[in-house]
Chains A and B, each alone.
Chain A
């Protein structure tokens, strides 16, 4: 599988394969945020559908992402969407109300056509927004996003923490998978009770390992003249006029679709 770091699910590896990775990362970050905010402000089903297809086109057709993998990542938030939609679409009442209802014991679960349509519109908007976010993360390496944040004047200390945390995450995950394998080979997960205690022990062991590694890292950094500043190399990615034009036209279309569908009563 493409998205594995030693048996661990992570989607940042897609970015290394994406054909869009040579585009300037700050430009990608800003256009993604702009598209996201506009999608939320317009709150218009036609704009949402347009964004959904646009991002699909960008990620799959231009970026060269696998269709099935794209869909499976798009559906990551499925459980949240389902539960939140139930919460938004359905109502509970002690009295008889709504257009559709089921009687459960002494109360009614009800809903109406309007509520269902609102919920469907919301789901499409959420999927559109998720696909915009994905378009960014499937084509941009996390360290590039961190660098872009630095250029947008996020405090230096936070940028350094982010850079270090990003590197440490994979070190800890590797230690975790080693510990998990060895616990599994010793029947550490053979029932719920042992699983819980194994999990707790592994988690506390990871903290111990991580603190030890933090010390080793600091020594290593100091040996390389660390004096409070972390400097990372970065690729120069030049802003291309065609890319700006593409994003400008895509966003312009959002306005056009919004204007044309203002009168539609859906």
Chain B
């Protein structure tokens, strides 16, 4: 009996705690100052090849068609705005989409890596989310790992002829979830536990962030499906322009 009471009490406290804080469940930007110097450099170096590849691909696109520069810039602004909008939530907490899954499907992951790092810089400059020293780590989780996996999931689903909406949901959901897993591991590498090491620490971070991040990933998946349905209904020519739907008649 007493044991049950204790469990109930703990759960009630945790529940109250989750409501009492002015929570903004963001897409887990690692804040300025969390990573030691070695990690700052390592994550930047890991992101570098992807960024160079992204730069090359953008440069090629722009060289081929100069008009692409405003299109790319608008796409970047779109990802920023999408990630800064407050999405509807049940608990009244304030949460945001990452928008990277959608961007990866629409604009290809290689371009998203460059757009992503620019968006992350602006999130630091305009919203004080993330930071300069953690830019490398955040770029890797949000602008590289998430989008690439979203894109791969989407392609696999297309190949295996899964329903379109299901494949978009899966791509956005898994991409978002992966971003959160990668961030948890980045924190775990920086703060391993004394007994248990990196894996135990990663488990802990996954557990702590799960209550905000898992529902967020599901909502992100749902919203992405609705957005793509809306686009397919109203924006056929625009989708052709960015190369999402194939077809010549514009």
Residues of A within 8 A of B (CB): 8-12, 32-33, 36-37, 39-41, 43, 73, 76-84, 86-88, 90-92, 97, 102-105, 122, 125-130, 132-134, 137, 142, 145, 155, 157-158, 160-162, 164-166, 168-169, 171-173, 176, 189, 192, 195-197, 199-201, 203-208, 210-215, 217-218, 221, 228
Q: Which of A86, A87, A125, A212 counts the most chain B CB atoms within 10 A?
A: A87
Residues of A within 8 A of B73 (CB): 160-161, 164-165, 168, 214
Q: Which of A33, A77, A104, A171 counts the most chain B CB atoms within 10 A?
A: A77
Q: Which of B27-35, B140-148, B149-157 lies at the interface with chain A?
A: B27-35
Other-chain residue from B87, B125, B132, B209 in contact with A142 (beta carbon distance below 8 A): B125
Other-chain residue from A41, A78, A204, A215 in contact with B234 (beta carbon distance below 8 A): A204
Do A91 and B193 form a contact, CB below 8 Å, given A83-B208, A204-B230, A207-B231? yes
Does B128 have its Cβ within 8 Å of any Cβ on chain A? Answer: yes
Does B109 have its Cβ within 8 Å of any Cβ on chain A? Answer: no
Complex CA gap A171/B78 in Å reads 10
Residues of B within 8 A of A (CB): 6-7, 10, 21-26, 28-37, 40, 55, 58-59, 62, 66-67, 69-78, 80-82, 84-85, 87-88, 90, 106, 114-115, 118-119, 121-122, 124-129, 131-133, 187, 191, 193, 195-196, 200-201, 203-205, 207-209, 212, 219, 222-223, 225-231, 234-235, 238, 241-242
Residues of A within 8 A of B87 (CB): 199
A165 touches B208 (CB 8 A): no
Tell me the nearest residue of chain B to A123, going by C-beta. B33
The number of residue pairs between A and B whose CB atoms lie closer than 8 Å in the complex comes to 247
CB distance from B55 to the nearest CB of A (A): 7
CB distance from A101 to the nearest CB of B (A): 12
Q: Which of B33, B36, B74, B78 counts the most chain A CB atoms within 10 A?
A: B33
Tell me the nearest residue of chain B to A171, going by C-beta. B77
Complex CA gap A142/B124 in Å reads 10
Other-chain residue from A169, A189, A212 in contact with B88 (beta carbon distance below 8 A): A189
Other-chain residue from A80, A201, A210 in contact with B26 (beta carbon distance below 8 A): A80
Complex CA gap A125/B21 in Å reads 22
Tell me the nearest residue of chain A to B14, going by C-beta. A104
Tell me whether chain A's interface is mostly helix, strand or loop, or mixed.
helix
Complex CA gap A92/B212 in Å reads 19
Do A80 and B131 form a contact, CB below 8 Å, given A160-B69, A176-B85, A205-B230? no
A161 touches B72 (CB 8 A): yes
B21 touches A134 (CB 8 A): no
CB distance from A106 to the nearest CB of B (A): 10
Do A40 and B55 form a contact, CB below 8 Å, given A172-B78, A192-B90? no
CB distance from B69 to the nearest CB of A (A): 7
Tell me the nearest residue of chain A to B75, going by C-beta. A210
Complex CA gap A173/B122 in Å reads 14
Tell me the nearest residue of chain B to A92, going by C-beta. B204
A11 touches B127 (CB 8 A): yes
CB distance from A206 to the nearest CB of B (A): 7
Do A86 and B127 form a contact, CB below 8 Å, given A160-B69, A161-B69, A228-B66? no
B23 touches A79 (CB 8 A): yes
Residues of A within 8 A of B193 (CB): 91
Complex CA gap A207/B74 in Å reads 8
Q: Which of B10, B115, B133, B212 counts the most chain A CB atoms within 10 A?
A: B133
A10 touches B227 (CB 8 A): no
Complex CA gap A54/B36 in Å reads 22
B33 touches A125 (CB 8 A): yes
Complex CA gap A8/B22 in Å reads 18
Residues of B within 8 A of A91 (CB): 193, 195-196, 200, 204
B62 touches A76 (CB 8 A): no
B228 touches A165 (CB 8 A): no
Complex CA gap A171/B77 in Å reads 9
B21 touches A176 (CB 8 A): no
Do A206 and B114 form a contact, CB below 8 Å, given A73-B128, A130-B33? no
CB distance from A210 to the nearest CB of B (A): 4
Residues of A within 8 A of B204 (CB): 87, 90-92
Complex CA gap A169/B8 in Å reads 47
